[in-house]
Structure 1
Amino acid sequence: MRILVVSDAWFPQVNGVVRTLDTLRAELEKAGHEVVLVTPDCFRSVPCPTYPEIRLALKPGRRLARMVEAAQPCAIHIATEGPLGWAARRYCLKRRVPFTTAYHTKFPEYIQARFRVPLPLSYAVMRRFHGKSSRIMVATQGIEDELARRGFGNIGRWSRGVDTELFRPRPEARGEDGPFAALPRPVFLYVGRVAVEKNIQAFLDLDLPGSKVVVGDGPLLEDLRRRHPGVTFAGARFGEDLATHYAAADCFVFPSRTDTFGLVLLEALASGLPVAAYPVPGPLDVVGGSAAGVLSEDLQGAALAALAIPAETARAHALTFSWAACTAQFLDNLRPFPVGRLSAA
């Protein structure tokens, strides 16, 4: 099957959405499907205000239509609610072809945190965007329940997986050649965007023994680096380097209250790193009642308690998440139509 995926989030931007879509593409191709991506690098674009690394496509409608018709896909999936997502939605509605969407990001909460836009207004826009979707794919039961309470319907599950070969315990990472060899133990680690919506300040304000390390880039990086000289800001890390940083730490602290899943939670657990987080959607669905982490409104107490969790327990829980199962869910949620349907529309 030829599947067309439209996403406003793509490389060189690196986040959970991009990594999920890139892995999905690889898994679909491994299963014999063809994936056509429509992303901002195919269009003239401008930097997103406050997030210059995010590119926003300019007037993508006509070019997007030509790309879709040239691809002649069997199914169309719209991954994001940006300019490309809205243009793809208009295209599908005009031609009366089915499409699916995904709710990767709690944009209303992000927009409220950055611009003070009221949540009811933002959720009304989100309901309009997803309202004509044949299936809204969400990663967790918690997000499904939350969207249902806010008036969304036609929701289907699309979970996440983790590369357990890349992200694994590495005893050598904790040795004298490891990235944190010079830091006092224990090492409490945060990995993710350094941005206000990630609630990173809650982690930085904790009174914890040992060291705090932040891995990631974002608009707050330089400001926080100046304000917290005692914290190690390691910048963005990728691949083996990122995996080594996970494996070298003692506890993963996840302060976000707005993530729909939190792929970094799985990466940490797969690396043998216990998790401390708030009991909110995302951590509740990934960690839940397992013994792999501690969820509490007292994030400091959770971080200290998580130090007692064995690496083997964290790793074992991560092994229950599979990209193969995630890809099968995605395929089940699609609404295919006959090849050539777009030509006839």
Structure 2
Amino acid sequence: MTRSLSIAIVTDAWAPQVNGVVHTIGRTHDELIAAGHRPTILSPQSFRSIPCPTYPEIRLAIFPYRRLAARLEALRPDAIHIATEGPLGHAARRYCLKRNLPFTTAYHTRFPEYIAARFGLPISLSYAWLRRFHNAAQAVMVATPSIEAELREKGFQRIKRWSRGVDTRLFRPRPRANAQQPLGDLPRPVHLYVGRLAVEKNLEAFLSLDLPGSQVVIGDGPAQDQLRARFPKAHFFGKQIGEDLAQLYAAADVFVFPSLTDTFGLVILEALASGVPVAAYPVAGPRDIIREGVSGALDADLAAAIARARALSRLQCRAEAERFSWKAATQQFLANLALVPARLFG
């Protein structure tokens, strides 16, 4: 697509949340502007909202349909992308279907597994609901081949690839003498986790291991108090951003990604760009990014993966991260969009 497009991006996930979905949408928004397009983010910030039960950082729009419809009518966008399956996502889907407008969606989050972990709802019911939501779209964007294969097996249709990127200027290797400073005198090797502190992230699998050196956790979330109480030997640094976060990445010896449910794992790319090898389970997300014995180690035995990852080259990790860019990912996003004929807003 070469002409300048007005693109409406409807998302229930937005600031002040800090997660992969928000980061992906934010970086895509910036890349679209840099390419001469006109994206508009329609998020809970512009609607009456309430905090999500068990996760108050997430805001849920209340009865947003009329206001969202008015915003879309005023925008008359060339393309409508629905990023999430929450109240705003459902309102946008209803609006598009009512007016026979083409739209695209994205599958960012394994909600069925998350909901099962939190509330015990059967996964099959959640996937039936998600399948109905996404199959009305002209394209469902997914980040990796593994997730695409899983969704096709579950009956999802018209799946397109939308990869991810990493800021290799911010996240970069640092001289080892300087890289030690952010972590002070913590015993080596340093095993690092960055991300939300929530039940679906499977942090217990990492923190319960008897590892040499130190276990460092960066991030916050609904499980933070419980995790701090259960694992007093771990070092919790709280939420970090920008240069402070980048320095902590570069100071680590191994990055540990214990999640079994993520669809990608942007933090994996941030670690690799910092020159830090990654240890993870052999599941969708990690197995699409990590090259065994080159940028990390995958094993059903997480301790074994960590031990192998510690021996890997930091230079090779950095080289692997340089294969990913937000510019290339945004070009994929643009190619996947379904254009709305102007006459349909008449």
Normalising TM by the smaller chain, what interval?
A: over 0.9
1:32 and 2:33 are equivalent in the alignment: no
1:72 and 2:39 are equivalent in the alignment: no
1:139-218 matches, within 5 Å, as 139-171=143-175, 174-175=178-179, 178-218=181-221
1:47-87 Cα distance to aligned partner (Å, 9 max, x none): 00110000000000000001111111000000000000000
1:235 and 2:238 are equivalent in the alignment: yes
1:300 and 2:303 are equivalent in the alignment: yes
Structure 1 unpaired stretches of 5+ = none
Q: Which letter maps to 2:92?
A: A
CA contact (8 A) 1:173 1:244 kept: no
Instruction: Give the Å deviation of 1:173.
Output: 7.0
Looking at structure 2, the residues matched to 117 and 154 of structure 1 have their Cα atoms a distance apart, in angstroms, of 27
TM-score, normalised by the number of residues in structure 1 = 0.97
Looking at structure 2, the residues matched to 123 and 245 of structure 1 have their Cα atoms a distance apart, in angstroms, of 37
Q: Structure 1 pair 290/209, CA: closer, same or farther in 2 (3 Å)? A: closer
Q: Which moved more, 1:284-293 or 1:83-92?
A: 284-293
1:256-286 Cα distance to aligned partner (Å, 9 max, x none): 0100000000000000000000000000101
After superposing on structure 2, the runs of 4+ consecutive aligned residues of structure 1 that deviate more than 6 Å are: none
1:206-251 Cα distance to aligned partner (Å, 9 max, x none): 1110000000000110111112111001001001111111001100
Q: Which residue of 1 aligns with 2:6?
A: 2
1:90-134 Cα distance to aligned partner (Å, 9 max, x none): 000000000000000000000000000001100000011101000
Q: Which residue of 2 aligns with 1:23?
A: 27
TM-score, normalised by the number of residues in structure 2 = 0.97
> The residue matched to 2:39 in structure 1 has which SS?
strand
> The residue matched to 2:191 in structure 1 has which SS?
strand
Q: Which letter maps to 2:127?
A: Y
CA RMSD of aligned residues (A): 1.1
Instruction: Give the Å deviation of 1:172.
Output: 5.6
1:125 and 2:129 are equivalent in the alignment: yes
Q: Which letter maps to 1:205?
A: S
Q: Structure 1 pair 54/42, CA: closer, same or farther in 2 (3 Å)? A: same
CA contact (8 A) 2:64 2:87 kept: yes
Instruction: Give the Å deviation of 1:341.
Output: 2.7
1:57 and 2:61 are equivalent in the alignment: yes
Structure 2 unpaired stretches of 5+ = none
> The residue matched to 1:4 in structure 2 has which SS?
strand
Instruction: Give the Å deviation of 1:288.
Output: 3.9
Q: Which residue of 2 aligns with 1:315?
A: 318
> The residue matched to 2:240 in structure 1 has which SS?
coil
**Alignment: residue pair count:** 342
Looking at structure 2, the residues matched to 289 and 341 of structure 1 have their Cα atoms a distance apart, in angstroms, of 50
1:88 and 2:108 are equivalent in the alignment: no
Q: Which residue of 1 aligns with 2:260?
A: 257
Instruction: Give the Å deviation of 1:175.
Output: 4.9
Q: Which moved more, 1:107-116 or 1:165-174?
A: 165-174
Q: Which moved more, 1:263-272 or 1:165-174?
A: 165-174
1:328 and 2:331 are equivalent in the alignment: yes
Q: Which moved more, 1:280-289 or 1:9-18?
A: 280-289
CA contact (8 A) 2:280 2:297 kept: yes
> The residue matched to 2:182 in structure 1 has which SS?
coil
Q: Structure 1 pair 70/119, CA: closer, same or farther in 2 (3 Å)? A: same
